[in-house]
Structure 1
Amino acid sequence: MNNTVDGSFVPAAPMNVLRAYHSATVLPDGDVLVVGGTNGMEPASWLTDGTRGASAQVPWHHLGQGLSGTLSDVERYSPSNNAWTRVAVLPGPRLGHRAVCLESGQVMVIAGSGAVGSINGVELYSPATDQWVAAATLETPRFAHTATLLDSGHVMVCGGNHQSQGQGQVLASVEIYDPVANRWRAAADVPFARMDHTATLLASGKLLVLGGYSAQLNAAIDDASLFDPATGGWSTVQPLPERRMQHTATRLADGRILVVGGADAPFNPGRADAYLYDPQADSWSLGGTMVHGRKGHSVTRLASGHVLVIGDGLSVESGNMTEVFDPDTHEWAIGAELAHARFIHTASLLPGGQLLVAAGLRPGTSHPSYLSSTERLIE
C-alpha cells in the first residue's frame, strides 16, 4: 500500500436538508440534482446488528416498509456558484430509489421505498422547467434494484425487493422502459432472484449483473450474468471469485470491471479485497487489497483513470480515509482525507473533473447521525 494523496478535499456549501439513501444525478449543464432519501428513523436499532451500532445498513425488511423522515425534498447544486437551491419537491417521498439522466436531459426517478413500503411509481424531472411529471409505472414495486441507461436510450430495471404487507419478495424480474413510448415492457428474468447487486454496462453494450443477496440461500451469491439487449437473452459468465452483496462494480477505461467492497453475508462487515473482470477473456483476477473493508461506500473513476473509493460505516477511521486504485499497477494508495467521515452518501464527478461528495450517515455512532455537509475533491 502506497501512501499518497491525489488531490485534496475542500469544504463545499452544505445542503439545506440532512439526508442519506438519496440519489445524486449530474445534469447536462453540470449541476447536480439530489433527490429524496431519509433523515430520521425510529427505532434507532434498525441500524444496528447488535455490536457495531450505526455501522450496519438498514435491514431490507425495515427499509421496504418505509421510514419516518422519508424525504420528498429535492436540491440542485451549482458548481460555479458553490450553492444549493431547493427546487420542486417530489410528488411523494422516497428513499433507496434509482435515478437516471435520460438522453432528453430529464432525470428519471424509479421506484424505491415510500412512507408505507416499496413503490412502483416513476417520476420525470425537467431541469429547464423545474417540474415533475409522472411516467408509466413499473409492473412490480421494488427497492434495492438496479437501473441502467442502455446504449439504445432505454432504461433497464433489474431485481430488487418487493415489500408488501410485511412480507418481502426478492425479485428476478426485469423491466425495460422506452422513453419515446413512455412504456415499460417485461424482459427475460435475470438468473437468480437478487437484491443489493450491481449492473454495469460494458463497452460492448451488454449488461453485466454481479452478485447480490439471495433470499432462497439467505446469503450473498457469486453469480455473474450477462444481458444482451440485441437478443433480450441472458448468458452466464465466470462467477465472482467470492460471494458478494452491497458491493460496487466500476468500468475502467480499458473496459475491465473493478469490483470493490461489499459483504459476503447480510450484516457482515465490508470486505477489503477487490477483483477485476476482463469481459473479453471472461476471466477474473485479483485487484489488490485495501486498508479497510468497505460497505456503504462510493466508487468513482476519475479523469486520471484512477479509481477513488470513499466511505464505510464500520468506524470513523475507515469512513474518513479514502483509497485510490491504479489500474495500470493494480496497487492501492491512501487518498485524500475527508473532512467528515461518512457512508451511504453520494459522489458525483463534475464536468471539470472535480468530485462532489454529499451528505450520508456519520459512522461510529450508536444511533443514526445524518449529514448535510458536502466536500469537493480538487486534483
Structure 2
Amino acid sequence: MSPSRRLHTATLLPSGNVMIAGGSNKSISLSSCELYDPLSNRWSTAASISSSRYEHTATLLLSGSVMIAGGSNKSISLSSCELYDHLSNRWSTAASISSPRYEHTATLLPSGNVMIAGGSNKSISLSSCELYDPLSDKWSTAGNMSSLRRLHTAALLSSGKVLVTGAYDELSSLSSCELYDPLSNKWNTAASMSLPRYEHTTTLLSSGKVLVTGGRNALGLLSSCELYDPLSKT
C-alpha cells in the first residue's frame, strides 16, 4: 500500500476488490483510500474520505455501499459518517451519529440497519448505542449497554442477536458480555468469559458458536481462547 498505515479499515466489496480506508501514519491521520484487486494482485487509488480518521468502523450495507462511522483525528473524536459507492468511486455525506466515538463496533443487522455500540469519546468510555437506517439516512437510539465498553467485539449470532464481549472501561478490562435483541431493542446479560480481555477477536463459526481469541488484560497479552455457545449460554 501507499502510504503505510495502521488502525484503518478493510472492506470486501461486491466487486471482489478490497477497500482500505483511512488510518494513521505515525502521528498523521489519513483520508486516503486504496483498492486491492486480487485478480491482478495490484493496488489502485480510490477516492479519499472527506475527513481523515482512524479507529473508525466500515460496514458493507445491503445496497453495496460502504458506511464509514466515527473515528479519531488526533485528539478529536468524530461523529461524522460517510458513504462510499464502489460503482462511481465517490464518497457522500451520511447523517452523523449523535455521540462522537472511536474504538466502537459496528454490526450489520438482518434488517439492513447498522448498530454502533460503545467506544470512546476522548478518554471517556461509552455505553450508548445507536441504530442507522440506510433507507431514511437517520440514526436512532439502541439503548445503553450495562457496562462502559471500548476495544470490545461484536458478533452477529445466527439468531439475529448481537453478542458483545469484553472491553476496557475506565478502570479495567472486562469479562462480562451482553446480548442485543433487535426485535425488542433491548440489551440483556450473557454469560461472562473466564478471563477479562480487550483488543481480542470474535468469529462466528458454522456451528453457531462464537470463538474468542487472544487480546490483553492487566496481566499482559493473552494466548487463551474461549467458545461461546448461544444454546447453553456458556
Q: Match of 1:185? A: 140
**Alignment gaps of 5+ in structure 1:** 1-14, 42-68, 284-379
| 1:199 partnered with 2:165 | no
Of the three residues 20, 23, 30, the one matched with 1:37 is 23
Of the three residues 207, 230, 234, the one matched with 1:279 is 230
Q: Match of 1:208? A: 163
Q: Match of 1:257? A: 210
Of the three residues 47, 55, 58, the one matched with 1:99 is 58
Looking at structure 2, the residues matched to 33 and 124 of structure 1 have their Cα atoms a distance apart, in angstroms, of 13
TM-score (norm 2): 0.98
Of the three residues 36, 40, 43, the one matched with 1:84 is 43
Shift of 1:109: 0.5
Q: How does 1:29-68 map to 2 (within 5 A)?
A: 29-41=15-27
Count of paired positions: 234
Q: How does 1:90-169 map to 2 (within 5 A)?
A: 90-163=49-122, 168-169=123-124
Q: Which amino acid aligns with 2:206?
A: A
TM-score (norm 1): 0.61
Contact 1:93 1:115 in 2 (8 A): no
Q: Which amino acid aligns with 1:36?
A: G
Q: Match of 1:269? A: 220
Q: Which amino acid aligns with 1:232?
A: N
Shift of 1:182: 0.2
**Alignment gaps of 5+ in structure 2:** none
Q: Please say which structure displays the higher CA radius of gyration.
A: 1
Greater strand share, structure number: 2
Provide the alpha-carbon RMSD of the alignment. Answer: 0.9
Greater helix share, structure number: 1
Looking at structure 2, the residues matched to 94 and 40 of structure 1 have their Cα atoms a distance apart, in angstroms, of 13
* 1:129-188 deviations in Å (ceiling 9; x for gaps): 11110000000000110000011100000000011xxxx211000000000000000111
* 1:34-85 deviations in Å (ceiling 9; x for gaps): 00101122xxxxxxxxxxxxxxxxxxxxxxxxxxx11001000111111111
* 1:315-357 deviations in Å (ceiling 9; x for gaps): xxxxxxxxxxxxxxxxxxxxxxxxxxxxxxxxxxxxxxxxxxx
Looking at structure 2, the residues matched to 241 and 116 of structure 1 have their Cα atoms a distance apart, in angstroms, of 34
